[in-house]
């Protein structure tokens, strides 16, 4: 996996099933994202086991992302009819039901290859990219296939990214929204750690 931190997120155009169920055949990451931060969320495949739990957890937290003006884009190497079928089947019966963000069809595998998250030229790894308002990658991670992601942690990272930008402070280990950060000129975090100890 290539390190994309600090680089512009690779742009792509591909069919996507939108929240209302229609297909946007020319879905573009940059057009959809606009000037918003964005989570690019690769998952391995529809009709799997861990994948629907992740998509449904993202959907459950959708209002938290929207409140932060963060767009969500989920991507797998399935085709768009598979995405549509997966959404037509209710959660708990083999599908995911209606969701609030686009499912991008990367059946050419070009998007996963562009982000260097393709596994054996078959399907995407369980990879997460968090983009800032300018479209630069500020976080990337990959989980092994049996390990689902923690959506609360994704939100925490977004909050930390925003805190750093607005407050010009650094975020220590286990930082949560509402906590103080480390001042940029606090050498070796002495001041911060003196208060914490």
Helix (H, G, I), strand (E, B) or coil at 39: strand
Strands (E), 96-135: 103-105, 118-119, 123-124, 126-131
Give buried/exposed letters for 46-59 (b at 16+ CB in 10 A, else e).
bebebbbebbbebb
Tens digit of each residue's pLDDT (9 = 90 or more) over 28-49? 999 999 999 999 999 999 999 9
Q: What is the mean pLDDT of residues 127-137?
A: 97
The pLDDT assigned to 197 comes to 55
Q: What percent of the chain has pLDDT over 70?
A: 99
The pLDDT assigned to 195 comes to 81
Q: Where are the domains of the chain?
A: 1-149, 150-197
Domain 1-149: what homologous superfamily? Glutaredoxin (3.40.30.10)
Helix (H, G, I), strand (E, B) or coil at 69: coil
Q: What is the mean pLDDT of residues 130-159?
A: 97
The pTM of this model reads 0.95
The pLDDT assigned to 196 comes to 61
Q: What percent of the chain has pLDDT over 90?
A: 96
The pLDDT assigned to 33 comes to 97
Q: What is the mean pLDDT of residues 102-129?
A: 96
Q: What is the mean pLDDT of residues 157-175?
A: 95
């Amino acid at each position: 996996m290539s390190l994309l931190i600090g680089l512009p997120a690779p742009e792509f155009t591909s069919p996507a099933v939108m929240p209302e169920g229609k297909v946007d055949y020319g879905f573009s990451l940059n057009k959809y994202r606009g000037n918003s931060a964005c989570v690019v969320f690769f998952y391995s495949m529809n009709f799997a086991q861990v994948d629907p739990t992740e998509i449904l957890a993202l959907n459950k937290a959708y209002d938290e992302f929207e409140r932060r003006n963060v767009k969500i884009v989920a991507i797998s190497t399935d085709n768009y009819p598979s995405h549509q079928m997966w959404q037509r089947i209710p959660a708990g019966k083999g599908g995911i039901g209606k969701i609030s963000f686009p499912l991008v069809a990367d059946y050419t595998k070009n998007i996963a290859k562009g982000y260097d998250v393709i596994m054996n030229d078959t399907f995407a790894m369980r990879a997460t990219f968090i983009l800032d308002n300018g479209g630069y990658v500020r976080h990337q991670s990959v989980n092994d296939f049996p390990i689902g992601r923690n959506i609360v942690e994704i939100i925490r990272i977004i909050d930390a990214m925003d805190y750093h930008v607005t407050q010009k402070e650094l975020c220590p280990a286990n930082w949560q929204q509402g906590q103080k950060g480390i001042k940029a000129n606090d050498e070796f975090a002495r001041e911060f750690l003196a208060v914490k100890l």
